[in-house]
C-alpha cells in the first residue's frame, strides 16, 4: 500500500487549488457540448489542469472526466487517480452554489482515499482507508442521534430525472440537491438516504462512496454489491446509499 497520508495531503492541495480556479472562472466561463452531449466549460478544463499538475508529482496515473484513460491503459493499473474537476457543471453555469470538486484514489477497482471540495463554502471533506472523515482540519463528529433524525429524508437530483422522485413519493420525504454534494448532505446529517437510478459515471460517485463508508454508512447496487470503479466504460449501475448502515430500508 502506498503512503496514503502523503497522497491525501496532495489531494487536499489539488482540491484547494481547483477551488480557487473555479471561483476565478465563474464569471468568465464558456460552455460547449462534448460528443456525448454533456456540457463542459472552460472552468472544467482549467480546474482539471490545476488538479492534474499537482497530482502528477505522485507518479500515479490520472484519469479525469475531461481526460479519460482508455480501459487498455488502466485495466491492469494497481492505482490510479479518478477525478471530476467540476461536478455540477450545469449548476456552476447558472451561478448556483451546488457544485464541487471530486478526487478519488482507486486501488484494484475500489476507492481507498477521496476528497469532496464544497467550493462555495470553502469546505473540504476527505479521508483515506486508515483515517476518519475530516471536515477541513477537524474530524467530522456528529452523533448517531443527529443522523437518526433525518434517516427518512431522501436526496434526488435537481438536474437529472432518474425516477428518484417516484422512490421518494412512495417511500420518503425528498430534498433536491445538485451534484455530489448529495454525499455531503449524508455526511452532515441533512438526509439519510440517496437512491440513484440510471447510469452515473465512476468519477461522479467514487469520492462520495468512499467517504460515506468511512463515516459508517453504506452504498451498494440493487443486488447489494459494491460498485466497480474500473469498468471498461466507467458506467455504474443504479445504487442506494445510506448515511448510516443501520438505517437500511427494508428490501434494500
Encode pLDDT of 60-108 as tens digits.
999 999 999 999 999 999 999 999 999 998 888 888 899 999 999 999 9
Would 194 be classed as within a structural domain?
Answer: yes
Q: How many domains does the chain have?
A: 2
Domain end call among 99, 115, 139: 139
Domain end call among 139, 162, 189: 139
Range of the domain at 221: 144-242
For residue 40, is pLDDT > 70? no
For residue 169, is pLDDT > 90? no
Is residue 246 part of an annotated ligand binding site? Answer: no
Mean pLDDT of 48-70: 96
Would 99 be classed as within a structural domain?
Answer: yes
pLDDT at residue 125 in the model: 98
Is residue 65 part of an annotated ligand binding site? Answer: yes
**Confidence band for 34, pLDDT divided at 50, 70 and 90:** low
CA dist 77 and 171 (Å) reads 41
Same structural domain for residues 48 and 68?
Answer: yes
Is residue 27 part of an annotated ligand binding site? Answer: no
Would 105 be classed as within a structural domain?
Answer: yes
Domain end call among 105, 139, 173: 139
Same structural domain for residues 159 and 235?
Answer: yes
Is residue 186 part of an annotated ligand binding site? Answer: no
Same structural domain for residues 150 and 238?
Answer: yes
Is residue 78 part of an annotated ligand binding site? Answer: no
Across 42-56, 85-99, 170-184, 237-251, the highest mean pLDDT is recorded for 42-56
pLDDT at residue 128 in the model: 98
pLDDT at residue 141 in the model: 94
| Burial class, 233, CB count within 10 angstroms (exposed 0-12 / middle 13-18 / buried 19+) | exposed
For residue 249, is pLDDT > 80? no
Question: Per the structure block, which three cell numbers stand in for 64?
Answer: 479525469
Would 209 be classed as within a structural domain?
Answer: yes
pLDDT at residue 176 in the model: 87
Mean pLDDT of 142-160: 88
Query: In the sheet where 134-135 sits, what is the strand order?
Result: 62-64, 79-87, 100-107, 110-118, 123-128, 134-135, 138-139
Same structural domain for residues 38 and 116?
Answer: yes
Would 251 be classed as within a structural domain?
Answer: no
Same structural domain for residues 121 and 183?
Answer: no
Q: Average pLDDT of the chain?
A: 91
CATH number of the structural domain spanning residue 134: 3.30.540.10
Amino acid at each position: 500500500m502506498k503512503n496514503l497520508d502523503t497522497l491525501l495531503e496532495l489531494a487536499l492541495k489539488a482540491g484547494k487549488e481547483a477551488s480557487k480556479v473555479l471561483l476565478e472562472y465563474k464569471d468568465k466561463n464558456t460552455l460547449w457540448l462534448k460528443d456525448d452531449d454533456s456540457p463542459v466549460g472552460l472552468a472544467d478544463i482549467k480546474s482539471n489542469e490545476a488538479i492534474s499538475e499537482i497530482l502528477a508529482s505522485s507518479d500515479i496515473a490520472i484519469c479525469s472526466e475531461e481526460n479519460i484513460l482508455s480501459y487498455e491503459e488502466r485495466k491492469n493499473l494497481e492505482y490510479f487517480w479518478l477525478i471530476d474537476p467540476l461536478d455540477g457543471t450545469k449548476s456552476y453555469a447558472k451561478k448556483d452554489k451546488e457544485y464541487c470538486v471530486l478526487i478519488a484514489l482507486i486501488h484494484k477497482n475500489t476507492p481507498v482515499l477521496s476528497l469532496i471540495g464544497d467550493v462555495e463554502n470553502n469546505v473540504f471533506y476527505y479521508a483515506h482507508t486508515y483515517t476518519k472523515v475530516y471536515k477541513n482540519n477537524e474530524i467530522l463528529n456528529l452523533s448517531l442521534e443527529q443522523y437518526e433524525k433525518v434517516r427518512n429524508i431522501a436526496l434526488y437530483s435537481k438536474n437529472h430525472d432518474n425516477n428518484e422522485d417516484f422512490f421518494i413519493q412512495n417511500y420518503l420525504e425528498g430534498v433536491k440537491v445538485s451534484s455530489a454534494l448529495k454525499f455531503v448532505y449524508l455526511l452532515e446529517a441533512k438526509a439519510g438516504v440517496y437512491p440513484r437510478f440510471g447510469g452515473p459515471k465512476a468519477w461522479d460517485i467514487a469520492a462520495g462512496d468512499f467517504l460515506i463508508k468511512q463515516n459508517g454508512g453504506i452504498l451498494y447496487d440493487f443486488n447489494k454489491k459494491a460498485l466497480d470503479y474500473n469498468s471498461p466504460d466507467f458506467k455504474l449501475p443504479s445504487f442506494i446509499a445510506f448515511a448510516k448502515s443501520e438505517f437500511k430500508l427494508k428490501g434494500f
